[in-house]
Amino acid sequence: MNSQGQTASLPGFASDVDAPPATPWFPGSRPPMPLTHTAAPATHPPIVTGHSYPKRASLSNPTSAVAGTSYFPYSHHVNIGNLTTSSGPTKRLFDYLNLHITHGAAHDSDERSNAPACHEETRIAIREDIVSWIKQGEGDEEPEKIMWLSGPAGCGKTAIAGSVAETCKEECLLAASFFFSSFSGSAERRSKRGLIATLAYQMSKHEVLHRFKSCLHAAVDRHPDIFSKNLKEQAKCLILDPFKEVQFERENWVHWPKVVIIDGLDEVVAAQNHYAAEWQSSGTSEVDQVEILSTLTAMAYHPAFPFRIFVASRPESNISNFFATEAQGTAMCLFLDSKYKPDADVERFLMSKFAHIRRCVGISSSSWPRQSALDRLVEMSSGQFIVPTTIIRWVEAGVPQVQLDEVLKLAASNTGTKNPFATLDALYRHILQRAHSTDDDPHLVVKWIMCITSAMGSGRRFPPANFWRKFLENVEGELSYRLGPISSLIFVPSPEDTSSLITIYHKSFTDFLSSPTRCGDLYIGDAVHTSFVSERILVVLKSQSFFALIMFCNFIAR
């Protein structure tokens, strides 16, 4: 603005062009000061145009101006007289975050397309309690900003968390979600490293949080190294500080999402087990889990943080101790026990699934299975949803009536036992014994599975099924043949599918294999496992397979 109230304009801006700079300058150098208004010359100096990147004026023509997306392409907040300009962040927000986002951890990711979910007629009471807390908790005199859902293995925590996340998404309540998994095909889903960046990115995708997105973008532009910091520093920079800057929009909070959902916290693997050097630390899995909880608690009770946080995990000692000490009185704790009548839900689940099997197979009698058999299945489930889920997969894998009779015989043989996993263990053993092991090595399939599950817990990217075919097979097609009869426990892609992963349906199966008490004579100890792996490596080396040799050198290096 000049002394007569007229605005001085510059080439490259949308306003009228009055004059070029009085003295030559180059982008990145200090512009001449002050800028005065002068009459426009008869002709403008030549312009060097560019579409992708702004170009510097040629030294042979120092009066050339710069054209492009900005007249000040490398500068920020430059003051010229009364004119202030800012070219803003130089990269898109997604460009900054993409390498640090764990895309597969979102509740609706393709990686979780086969994840468990609650049957529409089951777990209604617990789901209603959780959603009610999410919606109406702000009315509490002393609101509890964190809810912890826990329970034993196989009780359905992940299914509940996934179903609640889907409900919240449909009702525009879900701010972000992160589902950890210790045996996922993605190593990032076992690590704490991508947690904060993933949550921040998911929050930024909400249209109502567009101001947060702008502030987040500016934050990562100022601090591109933030992803190498600890979790609390990341949370401060990527979530809390941006929300501080939008405090004035509190009146619009009623339209904002309400909750962040975290599942599988107990499945976090220590960062030191990961392959990337920048992820290495001296911590343990338990330390990483407590660090996550500490960060989430600090976020939840920060005055700028607008969401509640829902966490689901097993009641491991370090997690239980955290909620009993550091988070005592500040978190709502729910335990999946008889209060929520799991037996009734298990019966509804079984009735629905058996009705579906009857329709698909063409079983005419609607009385199959008999009520007495159904009651026995409910009793043997002991409130653990993994039991009826595994039973249904087993029944569907053969002639339904025959398969079900075998399960009922197993249940009868375990009558009176005090082991809460007795039925599940008996079912696992029964299915494993159907696998096609060799006569000279009845434990061969168990050794194969232990190789696969040990790689799942290594903290690295899980190798595809094609890797295991090269490593385990003596003859082509052997993997599919030997593991075919146990398809209710483990999924093996077809030989034509070279990139898909072998999938263990539930973590309780790996718990079973790792326990000599539960596994009994099928147990494979560390010494036997190591010896078997060494033998297979020698076989590969003798085969002179270059492809396999490269793969197994990488395997050994882990």
> Is position 195 within any domain?
yes
Q: What CATH number is attached to the domain comprising 154?
A: 3.40.50
pLDDT for the residue numbered 338: 82
pLDDT for the residue numbered 503: 84
Do 474 and 548 lie in one domain? The reply is: yes
Q: Report how far residue 347's alpha carbon sits from residue 374's, in angstroms, rounded to the nearest whole number.
A: 7
- 90 near 127, Cβ under 8 Å? no
> Is position 63 within any domain?
no
> Is position 260 within any domain?
yes
**How many domains are contained in the chain?**
3
How high does pLDDT run on average in the chain?
80
Q: Report how far residue 384's alpha carbon sits from residue 388's, in angstroms, rounded to the nearest whole number.
A: 8
pLDDT for the residue numbered 270: 78
The residue range of the domain holding 487 is 443-557
The model's pLDDT over 125-173, given as tens digits with 9 standing for 90+, comes to 999 999 999 998 655 666 789 999 998 878 899 999 999 999 999 999 9
Do 142 and 170 lie in one domain? The reply is: yes
Residue 371's CB is within 10 A of a number of other CB atoms, namely 10
> Who's near 172: CB < 8 A, 6+ residues apart?
257
> Is position 34 within any domain?
no
The model's pLDDT over 281-303, given as tens digits with 9 standing for 90+, comes to 445 889 999 999 999 999 999 99
> Is position 532 within any domain?
yes
pLDDT band at 205; cut points 50, 70, 90: very high
Confidence check: pLDDT of 2 > 50: no
Do 448 and 533 lie in one domain? The reply is: yes
> Is position 266 within any domain?
yes
- Give the distance, in angstroms, between the CA of residue 32 and the centroid of all CA atoms in the same chain: 52
pLDDT for the residue numbered 157: 94
86 or 363: which leads in pLDDT = 363
DSSP code of 339? G
pLDDT for the residue numbered 269: 87
Confidence check: pLDDT of 14 > 50: no
Confidence check: pLDDT of 519 > 80: yes
Nearest to residue 175, comparing CAs of 298, 109, 258?
A: 258
Do 348 and 395 lie in one domain? The reply is: yes
The model's pLDDT over 436-489, given as tens digits with 9 standing for 90+, comes to 988 888 899 999 999 888 876 555 567 888 889 989 999 999 999 999 888 888
Confidence check: pLDDT of 44 > 70: no
User: Lowest-confidence range among 384-398, 413-427, 514-528?
Assistant: 413-427
Share of the chain above pLDDT 70, in %: 73
Q: Report how far residue 333's alpha carbon sits from residue 130's, in angstroms, rounded to the nearest whole number.
A: 11
Among 179-188, 324-333, 451-460, 499-508, the range with the most confident prediction by mean pLDDT is 324-333
Instruction: Please state the rounded mean pLDDT for residues 314-333.
Output: 90
Q: Report how far residue 350's alpha carbon sits from residue 390's, in angstroms, rounded to the nearest whole number.
A: 11
> Who's near 412: CB < 8 A, 6+ residues apart?
none
The model's pLDDT over 106-132, given as tens digits with 9 standing for 90+, comes to 999 998 988 888 999 899 999 999 999
Do 135 and 262 lie in one domain? The reply is: yes
Do 186 and 304 lie in one domain? The reply is: yes
Do 221 and 329 lie in one domain? The reply is: yes
- 386 near 424, Cβ under 8 Å? yes
pLDDT for the residue numbered 113: 86
> Is position 356 within any domain?
yes
Identity of the amino acid at 10: L
Do 265 and 131 lie in one domain? The reply is: yes
- 394 near 427, Cβ under 8 Å? yes
Share of the chain above pLDDT 90, in %: 44
Confidence check: pLDDT of 259 > 90: yes
Can you name the residues that pair with 83 across neighbouring β-strands?
80
In the numeric block, the tokens 């299945």 are attached to 377
Do 203 and 307 lie in one domain? The reply is: yes
27: left (phi over 0), alpha (psi -120 to 50) or beta: beta
> Is position 36 within any domain?
no
Confidence check: pLDDT of 92 > 60: yes
Burial class (CB in 10 A: 0-12, 13-18, 19+), 159: buried
pLDDT band at 277; cut points 50, 70, 90: very low
Do 402 and 542 lie in one domain? The reply is: no
pLDDT for the residue numbered 299: 96
DSSP characters for 152-206? STTSSHHHHHHHHHHHHHHTT-EEEEEE--TTSS-GGGG-STTHHHHHHHHHHT-
Do 329 and 346 lie in one domain? The reply is: no
pLDDT for the residue numbered 10: 38
Do 101 and 176 lie in one domain? The reply is: yes
